[in-house]
């Protein structure tokens, strides 16, 4: 008889916990819901009091305007830059992490400590030197300054080094005995094992590059090369024309791809973070 009340208490506690978590999740989703609702409202109903979440006069005029203004081109630019930077960074960070984790060479510990030390340098310190280098290379108003600098960054190399350190050396020795070259070991043995870690790191890189505003603002000058953050800031209408609905529409378009990508790779992302925490 004592087991049943105990189970009821556990179920009641779980129900209360899940209810609180659901309310918290809805509270955190409220800005996105309001953004989505505002993108469909007429301009005259955006700041009405009391506020209206679902308007009977919702329409697609805001989305038609931003599509005609060129949001799809900026969406493609953003995806190209984010995907290119992520792919290049994952390759070089995994390669650097593999070198620090599995090879013994003079000065390895000191070099790795120096690499970690670069993480404390503020980005503002390197902004002007990087700009001058990009200017000398003739890369201004191109996507190269948004892809190449920082491709082999210290955080990514440290992340992959911690992940690869847990891989057994016997596996690599067996591959060498079978005649596999060093780069073949990296591509055929290391990378397949590190898929969860690469997914986690890739999502971090992709989301950071997708939302990057300062880099495109410095290096991109032509409107046809603008990414979504720049597109939103330079978008304008006729004098006296409120752009809040259109800005919310661009924000929705910029958020939806990230949500889709995260939902697709959510399991791998969680696995990579948990494995990295345990192995670290």
Q: Is 126 domain-assigned?
A: yes
Taking residues 161-190, report their average pLDDT: 87
3-state secondary structure of 181: coil
Q: Is 231 domain-assigned?
A: yes
Taking residues 176-189, report their average pLDDT: 88
Burial of 55 by CB count in 10 Å (0-12 exposed, 13-18 middle, 19+ buried)?
middle
What tokens were used for 30? 């409220």
| CATH code of the domain covering residue 142 | 1.10.3720.10
At residue 232 the predicted structure's pLDDT band, cuts being 50, 70 and 90, is confident
Taking residues 249-254, report their average pLDDT: 91
Distance, in Å, from the CA atom of 43 to the CA atom of 61, rounded to the nearest integer, reads 10
Place of tokens 């210290």: 154
pLDDT of residue 1: 47
The pTM (predicted TM-score) of the whole model is 0.84
Domain assignment of residue 146, given as a range:
76-239+261-279
Burial of 9 by CB count in 10 Å (0-12 exposed, 13-18 middle, 19+ buried)?
exposed
Buried/exposed code over 157-194 (b: 16+ C-beta within 10 A; e: otherwise): bbbbbbbbeebeeeebeebeeeebeeeebbeebbbeeb
Q: Measured between alpha carbons, how far is residue 241 from residues 40, 47, 54, 206, 251 in Å?
A: 16, 14, 23, 34, 18
Taking residues 69-89, report their average pLDDT: 94
Distance, in Å, from the CA atom of 42 to the CA atom of 254, rounded to the nearest integer, reads 21
Percent of the chain with pLDDT over 70: 92
Q: Is 200 domain-assigned?
A: yes
Q: Is 16 domain-assigned?
A: no
Taking residues 21-50, report their average pLDDT: 87
Taking residues 89-115, report their average pLDDT: 91
Q: What is the mean pLDDT of the chain?
A: 86
At residue 226 the predicted structure's pLDDT band, cuts being 50, 70 and 90, is very high
Q: Is 9 domain-assigned?
A: no
Q: Is 256 domain-assigned?
A: no
Distance, in Å, from the CA atom of 26 to the CA atom of 118, rounded to the nearest integer, reads 39
Distance, in Å, from the CA atom of 122 to the CA atom of 75, rounded to the nearest integer, reads 29
Contacts 24+ apart (CB under 8 A), 116-123: 116/154, 116/158, 118/154, 119/154, 119/155, 119/158
Q: Is 103 domain-assigned?
A: yes
DSSP result, 137-162: HT-TTSSHHHHSTTTT-HHHHHHHHH
Q: Measured between alpha carbons, how far is residue 183 from residues 19, 91, 95, 179, 192 in Å?
A: 52, 12, 9, 12, 13
pLDDT of residue 218: 93
Q: Is 57 domain-assigned?
A: no
Total of domains in the chain: 1
């Amino acid at each position: 008889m004592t087991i049943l009340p105990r189970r009821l208490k556990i179920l009641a506690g779980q129900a209360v916990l899940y209810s609180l978590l659901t309310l918290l999740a809805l509270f955190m989703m409220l800005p996105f819901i309001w953004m989505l609702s505002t993108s469909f409202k007429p301009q005259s109903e955006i700041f009405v009091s009391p506020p209206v979440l679902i308007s009977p006069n919702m329409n697609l005029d805001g989305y038609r305007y931003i599509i005609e203004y060129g949001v799809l081109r900026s969406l493609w630019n953003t995806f190209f830059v984010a995907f290119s930077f992520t792919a290049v960074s994952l390759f070089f960070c995994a390669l650097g992490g593999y070198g620090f984790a599995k090879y013994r060479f003079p000065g390895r510990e000191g070099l790795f400590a120096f690499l970690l030390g670069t993480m404390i340098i503020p980005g503002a310190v390197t902004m002007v030197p990087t700009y001058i280098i990009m200017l000398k290379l003739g890369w201004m108003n191109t996507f190269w300054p948004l892809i190449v600098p920082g491709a082999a960054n210290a955080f990514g190399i440290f992340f992959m080094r911690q992940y690869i350190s847990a891989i057994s050396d016997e596996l690599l020795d067996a591959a060498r005995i079978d005649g596999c070259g060093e780069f073949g070991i990296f591509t055929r043995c290391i990378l397949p094992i590190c898929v969860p870690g690469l997914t986690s790191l890739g999502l971090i890189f992709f989301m950071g590059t997708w939302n990057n505003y300062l880099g495109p603002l410095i290096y991109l000058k032509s409107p046809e090369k603008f990414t979504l953050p720049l597109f939103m800031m330079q978008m304008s209408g006729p004098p006296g024309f409120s752009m809040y609905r259109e800005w919310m529409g661009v924000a929705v378009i910029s958020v939806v791809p990230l949500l889709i990508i995260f939902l697709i790779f959510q399991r791998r992302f969680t696995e990579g973070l948990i494995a990295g925490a345990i192995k670290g």
